[in-house]
Amino acid sequence: MSLRRSTRVQSQTVANTISSAVKAVTPGKKRARPRADPVKDAPSLSSGAIEALPASQDAQGFKIPTTPSPTKRRRPNPTTPIPPPLTPTPSAIGVMLTPQPIHSSGDIDDPLPTLPATPHGTNAPLTTPNGHRIAPQSTRGIRPPASTTNLTLLSDAKAHLISTDPTLRPLVEAHHCRVFDPSGLAEEIDPFRSLASGIMAQQVSGAAASSIKKKFIGLFPAGYKGSEHPGPPTFPAPGIVAATDLATLRTAGLSARKAEYIQGLAEKFESGELSAQMLSEAGDEEVMERLVAVRGLGKWSVEMFCCFGLKRMDMFSTGDLGVQRGMAIYKGRDVAKLKGKGGKWKYMSEKEMVETAERFRPYRSLFMWYMWRIETAPGQGGTNISTLN
């Protein structure tokens, strides 16, 4: 049956409407846009325009990356040379030793008594915790020269250095070593006080060490815990320190480790394992062995105590940078060039130091002192020799 024309037109219009509605709900696939090529899409520039571009841009106008110029360091003023750092020797020794002369009576000094002395043992009078004084003793197993006394020990040592190496004469004659002269040998030393003070001085400045020591002494007033302690400025006896808890010791500014070391040192003196008598009578090797075995006392600290505290004449420290540098100068080397070499033994090997000093036995302590002295020549070193004196 044939449909009227109006009906056919109406049906076609409805179908077109549905088809349009379906297309509107279901989106078709989008075409991918081609990626822009900066070189191809960049506007072309005339030769005149290219020449007008800044040097930091290329022909397409893009910024050319540049490497920043290194920052220039200021050169130090050659007229004011920077001195090398100080060795730890002066500050540590200054805090370690607080000796008192024993030959003074009132305003007039009594003549120094003539006492036996030896290059192989202790030449300083030592004090015990109860205040007793121990005069220098004959070293066990060694007979000292009969002619050597506290009045002649330094002159004998200087003569030995000069006879061993005559080139040292100008240096020896120009500088007096008070450490080993008669007045220096007359200074009393409290071994416990000196060694404990040395522990306080480890790895801190001289000013900080002095402050800690003052606070430490202040922890123990007169009659502390029923003792006969007279109070500051007297250093506390080993028995008092050994009986004090670590928390109290730390209030003086000590680290936990240093407080343990000082208390352990006090216990060894209190038990008699260490004593002024032993330090006065024992030989160099025995003293070194007994003290280095104590926690907190390193080899360098013990060497300095034996040399400047006990006044032992044959000590030698290879681990002291000032001594190493001085020996390099003594050997005629340019320490300014060696300084940048690096390493622990940049100025001289330990083996060469020992071999060089061996010739000056049994007065290597004095030889070492003069190596500090030669190291303070202008432009050479930095040890404060006045502190060592």
For 154, the token pair is 């330094």
What does the pLDDT read at residue 175? 95
9-23, 25-39, 336-350: range with lowest mean pLDDT: 9-23
Biggest CA–CA distance in the chain, Å, is 158
Handedness of CA 157, 158, 161, 163 (dihedral sign): negative
Taking 60 as the threshold, does the pLDDT of residue 219 lie above it?
yes
pLDDT, residue 339, reads 86
Report pLDDT digits (tens) over 267-324. 999 999 999 999 999 999 999 999 999 999 999 999 999 999 999 999 999 999 999 9
pLDDT band at 133 (very low <50, low <70, confident <90, very high): confident
| pLDDT higher at 246 or 45 | 246
CA 381 to chain centre: 16
All domains in the chain, ordered by first residue: 85-102+114-146+187-312 (1.10.340.30)
CA–CA distance, 196 with 301 (Å, rounded to integer): 11
pTM metric for this prediction: 0.70
What's the chain's average pLDDT? 79
Highest mean pLDDT of the ranges 59-63, 75-79, 269-273: 269-273
| pLDDT band at residue 67 under the 50/70/90 scheme | low
Q: Which of 310, 313, 315, 338 is nearest to 326 (CA)?
A: 338
pLDDT above 90 as % of the chain: 55
- Mean pLDDT for 20-34 is 48
| Single-letter amino acid, residue 274 | L
pLDDT confidence of residue 57: 58
> Which token pair is 106?
């009132």
For the segment 41-70, the average pLDDT, to the nearest whole number, is 55
Q: Is the pLDDT of residue 158 over 90?
A: yes
- What's the token pair of residue 189? 């030393």
Rounded Cα gap, residues 75 and 382, in angstroms: 22
**How many angstroms separate the CA atoms of 31 and 163, rounded?**
104
Query: How far apart (Å, rounded) are the C-alpha atoms in residues 291 and 297?
Result: 7
- pLDDT digits over 230-255, tens only? 999 999 999 999 999 999 999 999 99
| Greater model confidence, 194 or 79 | 194
384 pLDDT tier (thresholds 50, 70, 90):
very low
Give the Cβ contact number of residue 267 at 10 Å: 17
pLDDT in tens, 288-297: 999 999 999 9
Q: Is-cis flag, bond preceding 362, omega within 30? A: yes
Q: How far is CA 84 from the centre of its chain?
A: 14
Question: Residue 220 has what pLDDT?
Answer: 97
Tell me the average pLDDT across 257-261: 98
- For the segment 351-379, what is each residue's pLDDT rounded down to a tens digit? 999 999 999 999 999 999 999 999 665 44
Residue type, 136: P
Tell me, letter by letter, the H, E, C secondary structure of the chain. CCCCHHHHHHHHHHHHHHHHHHHHHCCCCCCCCCCCCHHHHCCCCCHHHHHHCCCCECCCCCECCCCCCCCCCCCCCCCCCCCCCCCCHHHHHHHHCCCEECCEECCEECCCCCCECCCCCCCCCEECCCCCEECCCCCCCCCCCCCCECCCHHHHHHHHHHHHCHHHHHHHHHCCCHHHCHHHHCEEECHHHHHHHHHHCCCCCHHHHHHHHHHHHHCCCCCHHHCCCCCCCCCCCHHHHHCCCHHHHHCCCCCHHHHHHHHHHHHHHHHCCCCHHHHHHCCHHHHHHHHHCCCCCCHHHHHHHHHHHCCCCCCCCCCCHHHHHHHHHHCCCCHHHHHCCCCCCCCCCHHHHHHHHHCCCCCHHHHHHHHHHHCCCCCCCCCCHHHHC
d(CA 299, CA 230): 33
Q: Which amino acid is at 261?
A: Y
Question: Looking at per-residue confidence, does 89 or 160 come out higher?
Answer: 160
Residue 173: the pLDDT is 96
Highest mean pLDDT among 20-29, 133-142, 251-260, 343-352: 251-260
pLDDT value of position 383? 46
Q: Whole-angstrom Cα distance, residue 312 to residue 124?
A: 8
Looking at residue 63, its amino acid is: K
Torsion of CA 252, 258, 263, 268, to 10 degrees: -140
For residue 307, give both structure tokens: 């040399």
pLDDT digit string (tens) for 159-190? 999 999 999 999 999 999 999 999 999 999 99
